Amino acid sequence: MATIHIKDLIEEFDLELVYGEEGVHRSITTSDISRPGLEMAGYFAYYPVERLQLLGKTELSFVAGLDPRIRRERLRKLFNEETPGIIISRGWDVPEELSEAAEEMGIPILRSQMTTTRLSSRLTNFLESKLAPTTAVHGVLVDIYGIGVLITGASGVGKSESALELVKRGHRLVADDSVEIRQEDEKTLVGSAPDLIKHLLEIRGLGIINVMTLFGAGAIRNFKKIALVINLEVWDSTKTYDRLGLDEEKMTIIDCEVPRLTVPVRPGRNLAIIIEVAAMNFRLKKMGVNAAQQFSDKLNHVIDTPDYDDF
């Protein structure tokens, strides 16, 4: 998991550092943001101290009407050793009691001119993207007709060669050899290439080629949502492979389940075309057209027909 610091937020959102300059290197460990409205009313039984604290017009106008002694007490309680920082929206002035506590604890106070709702949404999206769980998978990621296809398999089975043929057929390479994957939400996995090997493709006997240089900027993508996994394996005559396409195999990556197809590799099979058709068929299934299921339904209907024995 990547590490985000307060200084990263300042640079990303052009925030004003009002107090607590020594705290700009404090780490942010969660994408959740707290708006401490209940805390302003005195309820601190459950106070998420590890979150960024966002104060808007509602919170600041409420504490402005409190007795000075109570206001000082409640604002000081917002500061904890684990609290990464406090952000003021709409360019509001920082209460004196808040600034005093910030200087004492070394916790930064930032200010933005954006509205509270918009700022909260943008902060959450940014932090979720940067703090999302990540992993790396050995394989090739290609964008085929808008479908992110992760091609996996043993080393030397033909993943990169298939990707090269797919690029020649007009599809786009995302990553070769190592695919960095981050889970943006419960059902979304996004793959990209490590910076060191971005846009590069390794072909045994040929070496490393730069796909963008050879085929143009339209042949690559920097990242893509993974929708389908195709596993290439050497043909095993003792193994029974799915011939109808009714079996639905899943692969778990981080916490997400992704549909997976197993394609046997043997001489004479055009893997690139098979992978391309698999992506097209997957897209059709998402649109409600399942050729295998339709065939199975027709077959069952014929079998159940009373005159079936006359055929």
Among all residues, which ones are annotated catalytic? Answer: 138, 159, 177, 243
Q: Tell whether 137 is in a known binding site.
A: no
How far is CA 124 from each of CA 30, 55, 108, 133, 184, rounded to the nearest angstrom? 9, 15, 19, 15, 12
Q: Tell whether 207 is in a known binding site.
A: no
87: left (phi over 0), alpha (psi -120 to 50) or beta: beta
Partners of residue 191 on adjacent β-strands: 181, 224
CA 134 to chain centre: 8
Q: Tell whether 27 is in a known binding site.
A: no
Q: Tell whether 192 is in a known binding site.
A: no
Q: Tell whether 149 is in a known binding site.
A: no
Q: What's the token pair of residue 306?
A: 């009373």
Q: Tell whether 154 is in a known binding site.
A: yes
Q: Tell whether 156 is in a known binding site.
A: yes
Q: Tell whether 160 is in a known binding site.
A: yes
Q: Are strands 228-234 and 147-153 parallel, antiparallel or unpaired?
A: parallel
Q: At 228, which amino acid appears?
A: L
The DSSP string of 205-231 is TTEEEEHHHHH-GGGB-SEEE--EEEE
Q: Tell whether 191 is in a known binding site.
A: no
Question: Which DSSP helix (H) or strand (E) runs through 191?
Answer: strand 188-192
How far apart, in whole angstroms, are the C-alpha atoms of residue 30 and residue 51? Answer: 6
Task: State residue 25 phi and psi, 5-degree precision.
Answer: -95, 10
Binding residues for ATP: 153-160
- Please state the residue numbers annotated as binding site: 153-160, 202
| Residue numbering of the annotated binding site for Mg(2+) | 160, 202
